Amino acid sequence: MKRSKSGGRLFGTNGARGVVGVDMTPELVFSIGAAFGSMRRGKIAVGRDTRTSGEMLLHALKAGLLSTGCDIVDCGVLPTPALQFLVRGEFTGGAMITASHNPPEYNGIKVIDADGTEMGDNETAALERLVRSGEFAIQSWDGTGKETAEPDSVGRYTDAIVARFPGSPGKGMLVAIDTGSGPACRTTPEILRRIGCRVLTVNGTMDGTFPGRQPEPSEQGLAALSALVVGSGADFGIAHDGDADRAVFLDENGRYVEENAELALVARYICRRRKGAIVTPVSTSRLVGMIAEEEGCGVVYTKVGSINVARKMLALIREGKDVVFGGEGNGGLIYPEFQFCRDGGMTAAMMVAILAEEKKKLSAIVASLPRRFMIKGKISAPAGHAVLAALSREFARDTIDRLDGVKIIRGESWALIRESGTEPLVRIVVESPDQEQAASFYKEVTAAVQGSLERKGSRKKR
């Protein structure tokens, strides 16, 4: 059986993904289903996004789960956060056939725990071992599971979001939505209509070939949405990724709102109502910390990855701390009062509430945020961990944070250097309140990385 073309790890930070028919086959998905069923038993909710290979892989997943005696509830085509919402409380787990933002030829699986979060690292490693060993708890003829369907999977999710925004905050607002031919076609337009908005859509029909744009809602891919916003005079535009756990925005001029600014705007709205911690990865703009502090809240940093953010939020709450909000600077925002996963539908509704409160244009609200300048790059580095160790020594005069990679903090500026998990390279992000300062800091860090690589190279030659 083909497992992973590279022979490497099956599960990355957001589940297992691969090209359908090459890395991602029905045999593999059956094994993941049988392994997950062996671990969790009980009742499992399953669903999928709109990809053309979704039906095939969902059948394989169901067969795996049923063979181990699990009962399954098919929730159909729905956003990942909608499935996560349904799982919490009622199921021993969930599994979503999706490749999120990857191109149409990809598919994959996100495994969800009983609390609605994506499965954590240790459990995922155990699941992966079980897939590789093939030692599943397969049941005999009288022990296999039963399948039922949840007829209103999407309705329960949309109802729950709408209930959080009473009083039609969207009254008088026109919103343009690019649902990207994904499962958000079933949710976001309805949510926004029900909280009072008038809604226009582009790529609004579910289609797994993604004829209008790629599932990644990149600035370049949103030209049609931008034209719709400008042409219709919409108050803002919104676009989702392929499974609608992320949401990104365009202002009323059709211009892309940088995702850290989005995170900061939502943080400010929430921190004005509740005090506590915001949880976000070390790669997030300092902007978010500045906004949180202004409103009397604090920031707790985590390793990069939404699952790390969600699990940290849960851990802090278990310790009795107040946690008001979490998220990454990529449009993936987590609302702990609702659920502990990234939620594109909630984020869409949240932007309506923000505009209703501020009574200003979105471009003006974004312009009111402190300015920050970010530079991102990458350098080919075969042994990234040695480079990171050298950098910690070289920048010892600055504050060094080793939570994830090396973060060099110098006054209001910072640089983050991390090893790539999949390629032999290090990624560099530098941020500063001043453009020139950002450029010179970036140059300094890049030179240090290259210097360390050259020293290692010349030592090898000797």
Active-site positions read: 100
Output DSSP code: residue 138.
-
Task: Give least dist CB 169 to Mg ion, A.
Answer: 26
Task: Give least dist CB 101 to Mg ion, A.
Answer: 6
Residues that bind Mg ion (CB under 5 A): 100, 241, 243, 245
Task: Give least dist CB 84 to Mg ion, A.
Answer: 12
Question: Using alpha carbons only, what angle is made at residue 343 by residues 118 and 296, rounded to the nearest 5 degrees?
Answer: 105
Give the nearer residue to Mg ion in terms of CB position, either 241 or 328: 241
Give the nearer residue to Mg ion in terms of CB position, either 243 or 431: 243
Structure tokens, 291: 């906004």
Give the nearer residue to Mg ion in terms of CB position, either 101 or 268: 101
Strand partners, 400: 408
Helices (H) and strands (E) in the chain, counts: 14, 21
For the CA atoms of 209, 210, 211, 212, the dihedral, rounded to the nearest 10 degrees, stands at 180
Give the nearer residue to Mg ion in terms of CB position, either 161 or 388: 161
Structure tokens, 27: 């045999």
Give the nearer residue to Mg ion in terms of CB position, either 69 or 116: 116
Distance CA 335, CA 199 (A): 24
List of E strands, 391-445: 399-401, 406-410, 413-419, 425-432
Output DSSP code: residue 257.
P
CB-closest chain residue to Mg ion: 100
Task: Give least dist CB 100 to Mg ion, A.
Answer: 3
Query: Computed over its alpha carbons, how large is the radius of gyration of the chain?
Result: 23
Task: Give least dist CB 256 to Mg ion, A.
Answer: 18
Distance CA 38, CA 28 (A): 15
C-beta atoms surrounding 205 within 10 Å: 11
Give the nearer residue to Mg ion in terms of CB position, either 178 or 241: 241
Cβ-contact 417, 409 below 8 angstroms: no
By CB neighbour count within 10 A (0-12 exposed, 13-18 middle, 19+ buried), where does 212 fall? middle
Task: Give least dist CB 38 to Mg ion, A.
Answer: 27
Structure tokens, 11: 């599960």
